[in-house]
Structure 1
Amino acid sequence: MPANDKHKTIALAVRHNTAGIEEPVRSVIGFLEQAGYRIVLEDDTAAHLGLPGMEALSIEAIGLQADLMIVMGGDGTMLGIARQLAPFDVPLVGINQGRLGFMTDIPIERMLPALGEILGGQAFEEKRTLLEARVVRDGAVIASGLAVNDVVVARGAGAGMVELKVSVDERFMYNQRSDGLIIATPTGSTAYALSAGGPLMHPTLNGIGMVPIAPHALSNRPIVLPDSSHIVIEVVSGRDVSVNFDMQTFASLAHGDQILIQRSPDTITFLHPEGWSYYDTLREKLHWNEYPSVEGKLTKGY
Structure 2
Amino acid sequence: MILLVGDKSRSDVVHAIAQVEPLLRELADVVVDTDGEHDLVANPPSLVINFGGDGSILRVAGRLGERQVPLLGVNFGKFGFLAEYELPELLVNLQNAVDGKLPTRQSLLLKVTVTHGDESIERIVVNDVVLQRAPDKRMSHVFTYYDDALLADYFGDGLILSTPLGSTAYNLAAGGALLHPELEAVILTPLCPHTLSLRPLVVPAGGVLKLKVEGDDSLALTMDGEGTTELRGGDSVEIREAATPLTLIAHPTRSYFDTLRLKFDWSKRTTVSRT
Q: What's the TM-score, normalizing by structure 2?
A: 0.90
**Which structure shows the bigger proportion of residues in strand conformation?**
1
What is the Cα deviation at residue 239 of structure 1?
5.5
Specify which of 103, 111, 119 is matched with residue 132 of structure 1: 111
The answer for unaligned runs of 5 or more in structure 1 is 1-8, 46-55, 297-302
Deviates more, 1:158-167 or 1:238-247: 238-247
Where do residues 3-82 of structure 1 align in structure 2 (5 Å cutoff)?
9-33=1-25, 35-42=26-33, 44=35, 57-63=38-44, 66-82=45-61
Secondary structure of the 2:97 match is: helix
- 1:178 corresponds to which residue? 156
Give RMSD over aligned pairs: 2.3
1:135 touches 1:260 (CA, 8 Å); kept in 2? yes
Unaligned runs of 5+ in 2: none
Residue 207 of structure 1: CA displacement? 0.7
User: CA 1:62/1:13 → structure 2, altered by over 3 Å: closer, same or farther?
Assistant: farther
Alpha carbons 1:181, 1:210 under 8 Å: kept = yes
Q: CA deviation at 1:158?
A: 5.3
State the percentage of identical aligned residues: 30
CA 1:43–1:212 in 2, change beyond 3 Å: closer, same or farther? same
Could you tell me whether the CA contact under 8 Å between 2:128 and 2:163 is conserved in 1?
A: yes
SS at structure 2 position matched to 1:90? coil
Instruction: Report if the CA contact (8 A) 2:66-2:242 is conserved.
Output: no
Is the counterpart of residue 219 in structure 1 residue 197 in structure 2?
yes
Aligned to 1:248: 226
Q: Residue 5 of structure 2 contacts residue 48 of structure 2 at CA under 8 Å; is this kept in 1?
A: yes
Which structure 1 residue ranges, 4+ long, deviate > 6 Å from structure 2? Answer: none
Partners of 1:207 and 1:226 within 8 A in 2: yes
Q: Which sits farther off after the overlay, 194-203 or 107-116?
A: 107-116
Distance 1:141 1:260, change over 3 A: farther
* TM-score normalised according to structure 1 size: 0.82
Change in Cα spacing, 1:120 to 1:21, as seen in structure 2 (3 Å) is same
Query: In structure 1, how many angstroms separate the alpha carbons of the residues matched to 2:162 and 2:109?
Result: 9
How many pairs align?
A: 274
Structure 1: how far apart are the matches of 2:161 and 2:113? 13
**Aligned-residue offset at 1:13:** 0.7
SS of residue paired to 2:243: strand
